[in-house]
Amino acid sequence: MIPKILWLTGSAIFFILGTWHLWYTFFTSKFNPRNKTVIDEMKNTSPELTRRTTMWKAWIGFNGSHSAGAIFLGLVNGLLAVKYFYVIEDSFLFSFLTIASSVFYVWLAKKYWFNVPFYGLLVACCCFLASPVTSFLL
């Protein structure tokens, strides 16, 4: 029961942070630059890759897809933990991929983001790591 609760906790954190990020991206101005001229520059500048988009559209798109990834990771893991926890327990690959993804998110948060996502993701990662360890020990 404890390994399942740990896995569900990690999943819930990813889902909540991803949903929160999605909300901030599309329904608030919290991710907008404080310097309003930067927004204008981003809207009038395209990346070297293509002229078919702007840095502003890319910024919004990257934030949206980033949110979707965290929500997906949280939902899939949460649903599997609720209905088919044996899949998580019996699949080294699935557990490894979830843990590796959460470690990557923690690294991104530490290097590029701020404290709230870093500490939240660190807790989620610890839950994902503790779940198979606890399962093995019990």
pLDDT, average across residues 130-136: 91
pLDDT at residue 84, as a whole number: 95
Specify the number of domains making up the chain. Answer: 1
* pTM of the full structure: 0.92
Query: What letters, b where the CB count within 10 A reaches 16 and e where it falls short, cover 19-57?
Result: ebbbeebeeeeeeeeeeeeebeebeeeeeeeeeeebbbe
Residue range(s) defining the domain that contains residue 93: 2-137
Per-residue pLDDT tens digits for 52-97: 999 999 999 999 999 999 999 999 999 999 999 999 999 999 999 9
pLDDT confidence bin for 45, thresholds 50/70/90: very high
Q: Which two tokens stand for residue 130?
A: 């503790």
Q: What is the mean pLDDT of the chain?
A: 95
Q: Is the pLDDT of residue 3 over 90?
A: yes
Q: 84-94, pLDDT tens digit by residue?
A: 999 999 999 99
CA distance 89 to 3: 9
